[in-house]
Amino acid sequence: MDAIKFAGEHLWPGQLGHFFVIVSFVTALLSSISYFAAARSEQAMDGGKGWLTMARGAFVLHAASIIAIFTALFYIITRHLFEYHYAWEHSSRDMPGEYLLSCFWEGQQGSFMLWMFWHAVLGLIVMRTAKDLESRTMTIIAFVQAILATMILGIYLGPDIKIGTTPFMLLRNAMQNAPIFSSPDYLNFVKDGNGLNVLLQNYWMVIHPPVLFLGFALTLIPFAYCIAALWKGDYQRFIQPTLAWSLAGGAVLGTGIMMGGAWAYESLNFGGYWAWDPVENASLVPWLTLIAGLHTLLVYRNTKRALTITFVLLLLTHLLVWYSTFLTRTGILGKTSVHAFTGDGTALTYHLLIVIGALLLLSKVLLLVRWKQLPRIKTEEETLSREFWMFIGAVILFLASIQIAVTTSIPVWAPLAKWITGKEFAPPTDVMSHYNNIQVWVAIIVGLLSGAILYLRYKNSDGKTVGKRLGIVTLISLVLTGLLAWGQEIKTWQYDIMLFASLFGIVATIYYGISVQKLKFKKLGPAVTHLGFAAILLGILLSSYNKHAISLNTTGLSFNLEKKTQAETIQENMENMILFRNIPVAMGQYTATYIGDSAVGGKDKRIYYRVSFDRYDSSAKKLAEHFMLYPDAFINPKGMQGMSANPSTKHYLNKDIFTYISSAADRTKSDTSTYHTHTVNKPGDTVYLNNGFMIFNGFSNEINDKRYIPKEGDLAVKARLSVYDTKGQRREIAPIYILRDRQYITQVDDTLEDMSLYTRFGALNVHSKDSASVDIMVRQTNPMDDFIVLKALVFPYINVLWLGIVIMVFGFSISLGDALNRKVKTPKA
């Protein structure tokens, strides 16, 4: 085996890449150790200058080698070097250019690389800005980088213990047992790669992972600052940078999560933007703890209270990011998540568990060692103080994250539970209502707090003023709630309260911004962020509560007002509707007609299904509205049977109509129609069709059809035909008959897609000098053979949700700007 010389392999990019992986690991480790030494020798004569220089140099080298790893892998992917497993696995020759980037993050190693890249970038910024905390924060950052580098190291310690998986593994090493790799010229047989999962061939997949991973990476910096503060025993200096980094993290991670939602909504057929899927939850949980920690940090900055819980929350946030990596990357979620992540075996599981254990131990030990000396305030806070309610809000967010984490982690704790109870635990059968029933209360409390808290001052507030202002807000919100609950027919009382809470949040923040802050931009951060948050709650409520399918299949539906049984719930789930070609079907207030399909061609392998939506005004008896939707699908994508569908959505200001194809006729199997021959003798002769008729207008030899390329010696003639459909509309078609070199007969057919009409110039029969007859062959597909199965959902007011996200992120940015400008730490009185 060793002796085989393989032909055509390009080994140097992989060797170079793997070399830089090792360099990045060594430099990160060196940097971490040097920074540690620098921190230890701060009190020394030279202040640990030598160590510091070495540590910085090592980190810069580390960042550079990550760029080199990226370049090497990018080279391999763009050059289609399929001797590398990564390129073979995730890319293919026909892939559109912009998705070459997506192949990076489709794979395990690529996403670790992306994560490392962001850490390196952020590390360089911290290096320049952390000043006297540099050595300590950077010790942690470089340490975590070294850990991440082990994930892509791919080094064997003995035959069974492997540390990490290198992205530069060769295909023949990844699949040693496959017989083709015993032939030295195996590369001649590996012509193309597997390509990117069609679900990921989407522009959201290009931008969503980088943003999400930047969000994940941003949690490391508050983590590092908290460790540094505990390590140094300085609980003042870390506040400002930690606050700024947490605000950035809240904004970016929040954006990343919602981009995932938008991706699911725009291009996956989950039928919504949020499904409480384990993978979504895994990124939401650290966001919740980050937001909670951010608020307790504000409490600490302003009142010197709540330091311990701040440390706990911010340290936990980063640990939870690792935990979410554990959940999503090891395949442990297996049967509970729709995200088809494949596990990388037990090696990764143990690797990640060791990392989480080590970081947890570090945080715990430091916290316990310093526990006694952490500054605490003996006195009680006032009930009418901002810190008191902020603290409660933070605890609520934290408890919410625990609930989500417990349910999401079912596969993790199920073996233990089985050992105790003997029952094999599974996720709730109705996941959505399981989470919604609990989290609606979190939304209510946090919604109310996000508005009310702005009116409270730190330490103590004037009850009268607060009461008066909140009274006005409550009154306005109550009126709005009544109107909206009535207008939107929100009849579940819990959701009526949530409606009030979100409207209260919106009214309170707007009123606060205008009448209390007088629109002073720099101070508007909290109000704007909270406004965005409350708008998100409102958007979620309005779009999900009245989300409904208009493609309801009502055939055989049993009307029963009794308590719903499982069978009836299933009936309600019947949201698929079959649409035969050209047969209009009522859908809500629209009439939907499937008109036909088309392919764009080129690298776009999708088939677009044209569906016309028409709304008739029954009183005016005319067409009030018309639009087309083009839900599309990959039919039989590479290595798969069946189809992979992408939705198409009609956006209105106040609602979305969301459609996708859940099934379509397989034309290769279902088209059973055959040609029938009709002979026409003279112009004016008629051929009758299923859905109209056709008149022969004579011959012509003026042919300008792109499909016919003239050649010398051709005798080409076309039959001019006028087709009239049942509405009397006339269209011209002209099938062509070619006699090439006086012996070969070829035909160019002409079709009318929307009438399912295929015509062929079958034969030219010359009877005498001036009489000839034509055999026109006609094939009409049975309209029942061409159909799509469509799901159409209406999401009302979903724009409120998207707008809320934009406002919230904008608010975070204002606060970030404010935090960065506040260089001098003056505790507010």
Partner 1 sequence: MPKGITLRAAKPNGMKKTQIVLLVLIMAAIAVLISVFGDFSSYETFASAAKDPKKSYYIIGTLDTTHAMHYDPKADANHFTFYAKDKAGTESKVIFSGEKPRDIEKSEQIVMMGFMDGDTFHCSKIQMKCPSKYKKDQVAVGKG
Contact residues for partner 1 (CB under 8 A)? 89, 171, 175, 177-178, 180, 188-192, 194, 334-335, 338, 340, 342, 380-381, 383, 388, 391-392, 395-396, 399, 402-403, 406-407, 410, 423-430, 434, 437-438, 553, 555-556, 565-567, 569-571, 573-578, 639-644, 662-663, 784, 787, 789
Q: Are 509 and 534 in contact (CB under 8 A)?
A: yes
Beta strands in 726-806 (DSSP E): 730-733, 736-740, 744-748, 750-752, 757-768, 771-780, 787-796
Measured from the CB atom, is 389 or 613 closer to partner 1? 389
Measured from the CB atom, is 367 or 395 closer to partner 1? 395
Contacts of 122 (CB under 8 A, 6+ apart): 141, 217, 218, 220, 221
Q: Are 505 and 447 in contact (CB under 8 A)?
A: yes
Measured from the CB atom, is 358 or 406 closer to partner 1? 406
Minimum Å gap between C-beta 63 and partner 1 is: 32
Measured from the CB atom, is 129 or 576 closer to partner 1? 576
CA distances in angstroms from 27 to 122, 140, 489, listed in the order given? 16, 14, 62
Query: Which single residue is written with the structure tokens 């991973």?
Result: 213
The DSSP output letter for 469 is H
Measured from the CB atom, is 439 or 488 closer to partner 1? 439
Buried/exposed 365-393: b ≥16 CB within 10 Å, e otherwise: ebbeebeeeeeeeeeebbebbbbbbbbeb
CA pair distance 195, 89, nearest whole angstrom: 7
Minimum Å gap between C-beta 247 and partner 1 is: 24
CA pair distance 321, 317, nearest whole angstrom: 6
Measured from the CB atom, is 548 or 615 closer to partner 1? 548
Could you count the other beta carbons within 10 Å of the beta carbon of residue 110?
Answer: 22
Measured from the CB atom, is 90 or 469 closer to partner 1? 90
Minimum Å gap between C-beta 75 and partner 1 is: 23
CA pair distance 161, 640, nearest whole angstrom: 34
Secondary structure of residue 549 in the 3-state scheme: strand
Measured from the CB atom, is 177 or 618 closer to partner 1? 177
Contacts of 517 (CB under 8 A, 6+ apart): 523, 524, 527
Closest CA to 300 of 245, 237, 254: 237
Measured from the CB atom, is 363 or 407 closer to partner 1? 407
Measured from the CB atom, is 501 or 774 closer to partner 1? 501
Measured from the CB atom, is 139 or 197 closer to partner 1? 197
Minimum Å gap between C-beta 277 and partner 1 is: 11
Helix axes 410-421, 386-408, angle to 10 degrees: 70
Measured from the CB atom, is 125 or 178 closer to partner 1? 178
Contacts of 103 (CB under 8 A, 6+ apart): 77, 86, 87, 90, 91, 95, 110, 196
Measured from the CB atom, is 618 or 672 closer to partner 1? 672
Minimum Å gap between C-beta 315 and partner 1 is: 19
Q: Using alpha carbons only, give the angle 661, 666, 667 rounded to the nearest 5 degrees.
A: 120
Minimum Å gap between C-beta 108 and partner 1 is: 11
Contacts of 695 (CB under 8 A, 6+ apart): 684, 685, 686, 687, 721, 722, 724
Minimum Å gap between C-beta 665 and partner 1 is: 8
Minimum Å gap between C-beta 488 and partner 1 is: 27
Minimum Å gap between C-beta 505 and partner 1 is: 20
Distance from the Cα of residue 502 to its chain's centroid: 25
CA pair distance 814, 530, nearest whole angstrom: 12
CA pair distance 318, 242, nearest whole angstrom: 13
Minimum Å gap between C-beta 379 and partner 1 is: 9
Minimum Å gap between C-beta 196 and partner 1 is: 11
Minimum Å gap between C-beta 462 and partner 1 is: 20
Contacts of 740 (CB under 8 A, 6+ apart): 711, 713, 714, 715, 746
- The edge-to-edge listing of strands for the beta sheet with 750-752 is 676-680, 771-780, 757-768, 750-752
Can you name the residues that pair with 717 across neighbouring β-strands?
737
The DSSP output letter for 310 is H
Q: Using alpha carbons only, give the angle 481, 484, 486 rounded to the nearest 5 degrees.
A: 105
Minimum Å gap between C-beta 425 and partner 1 is: 5
Q: Are 626 and 613 in contact (CB under 8 A)?
A: yes
Measured from the CB atom, is 402 or 624 closer to partner 1? 402
Measured from the CB atom, is 178 or 715 closer to partner 1? 178
Query: Which single residue is written with the structure tokens 């998540």?
Result: 337
Minimum Å gap between C-beta 456 and partner 1 is: 15
CA pair distance 531, 541, nearest whole angstrom: 15
Could you count the other beta carbons within 10 Å of the beta carbon of residue 653?
Answer: 6
Measured from the CB atom, is 624 or 640 closer to partner 1? 640
Minimum Å gap between C-beta 401 and partner 1 is: 11
- Give one DSSP letter per residue of 639-662, joined into a string: T-SSEEEE-EEEE-SSEEEEEEEE
- Give one DSSP letter per residue of 8-36, joined into a string: S---HHHHHHHHHHHHHHHHHHHHHHHHH
Minimum Å gap between C-beta 341 and partner 1 is: 10
Copy the structure tokens of residue 303: 């009142």
Minimum Å gap between C-beta 242 and partner 1 is: 22
Measured from the CB atom, is 482 or 642 closer to partner 1? 642
Measured from the CB atom, is 664 or 777 closer to partner 1? 664
HSE toward the beta carbon, residue 369, CA cutoff 13 A: 12
CA distances in angstroms from 576 to 551, 569, 667, listed in the order given? 6, 15, 20
Secondary structure of residue 274 in the 3-state scheme: coil
Minimum Å gap between C-beta 256 and partner 1 is: 25
